[in-house]
Amino acid sequence: MAEADPQKTFNIHEAKTHLSRLVDRARAGEEIIVAKAGVPCAKLVPIEPVVRPKRKPGGLTVTDKIDWDAFDAPLSEEELELWEGKRSEKHGF
């Protein structure tokens, strides 16, 4: 194994103390080596950013007709009490 760069090698105690700074350096592209008793045992490296596809509007397909009259109808007293938290359908109170 090649000799680790001392500028990029940190013992665990030092790495814990300066973790935020070391993560910033790794995010900037550096590889940071973490050592235990001077022996390299882990490496902080930047990760690839997740590339998500752009959303395309209008992708939802509705298969059933929407009953707009029922949609806009007022709630029954029972449903209204459930919405307002005055009773629980699950517990019946």
pLDDT tens over the chain, length 93 residues? 455 666 889 999 999 999 999 999 999 999 999 999 999 999 999 998 888 888 888 877 877 887 888 888 888 888 888 888 887 666 555
CATH code for the domain in which residue 38 is found: 3.40.1620.10
Residue 23's domain comprises 6-44
Q: Is residue 11 part of a domain?
A: yes
DSSP letter at 32 equals E
Closest CA to 84 of 75, 73, 92: 75
Q: Is residue 37 part of a domain?
A: yes
34, two tokens: 């973490």
Q: Is residue 85 part of a domain?
A: no
pTM above 0.85, yes or no: no
Domain count, the chain: 1
Q: Is residue 86 part of a domain?
A: no
